[in-house]
Amino acid sequence: MRSLKIAVPNKGRLQRPVLDLLYAVGIRPLASDDRALIIPTSWEGVQLVMVRTEDIPNIVEAGAAELGITGLDYVVESGASVEELVKLDFGRAKIVLALPINWNVEDPSKLDREIRIATKYVNIATDYLRRKGVKAKLVKISGAAEVMPSLNAADGIIDVTNTGTTLRLHGLNPIDDVMETYAVVIGNKNWMKSEDADKVNMVLTMIKGTITARGKKLLLMNVPDRNLDNVISSLPAMLAPAVTRLSRGDVWEVITVADEKELPEVVALLKGRGAKDILVVDIEKVIR
């Protein structure tokens, strides 16, 4: 039987959250050998391909894996002909242009000479510098960019950052945002025509359902008949609360969904309006 392959990072900042997502979906690796390239999973006919994060777009474009999970920055940098299928809720960061703090430059358009920029994002940097009208020579690197100015290998950098703290520790000031990035599920642009389309669609459905369920709680409660209208009018819901009369005719069971961040206020409001026996339950997936 043909196996569906999902390319995932073999290391780096995205590896752990990607594997955590797949665990939540139910796709669990059945081996833990760091040297293994292809790993079977708990889903029959689904394998993980462990490769470098930056190689995933090209691997998916070539059809060596039907799906891949990587950063949008690597998709853009590669220029690979792939489709962004699911925007994920982790891996958020920015690619920035950072220059030495003592230059006191806040606008790249104010640079009046050619500078040297160290980056692993050659294509993204080339496009950005052209749009901004900045004259620069690119120094291609594969390791830590922030040390390059200290080594006098470059004047500034174009690199990914979360908070900018590491840049400032190395005497660099992020003066402009090049692009925002986040984790994405990508697929070959012809995936819907492939023989694996149904299996791919099933994986995508479960990933979307897992992401949608994050931060949501299922609320179940008993509500006396006299309080039902007051409780219903105050309830959040994905569409509408479910209401069922219990065998005891003057009490109703009410079921709804609430965002976890709003839970304390919602529960306090429900109790104040007469809801009783309130249960708060985790939601694994929301399939739409």
Which is higher by pLDDT, 287 or 193?
A: 287
pLDDT per position as a tens digit, 127-161:
999 999 999 999 999 989 999 999 999 999 999 99
Q: Which CATH class is domain 93-180?
A: alpha beta
Judged by phi (left if over 0) then psi (alpha if -120 to 50, else beta), residue 208 lies in alpha
Which of the four CATH numbers 3.30.70.120, 3.40.50.2000, 3.40.50.300, 3.30.1490.190 does domain 216-282 have?
Answer: 3.30.70.120
Q: Which CATH class is domain 4-90+182-213?
A: alpha beta
**Residue 66, token pair as written in the block:** 């039907």
Return the domain boundaries, the chain. Answer: 4-90+182-213, 93-180, 216-282
Most distant pair of Cα atoms in the chain: their distance: 82
* Coil, strand or helix at 264: helix
pLDDT per position as a tens digit, 196-232:
888 999 999 999 999 999 999 999 999 999 999 999 9
Amino acid at 6: I
Q: Are strands 156-161 and 93-100 parallel, antiparallel or unpaired?
A: antiparallel
Q: What are phi and psi of 248, to 5 degrees?
A: -85, 110
pTM, full prediction: 0.89
pLDDT per position as a tens digit, 62-89:
999 999 999 999 999 999 999 999 999 9
Question: Are 4-90+182-213 and 93-180 the same fold in CATH?
Answer: yes
Amino acid at 142: S
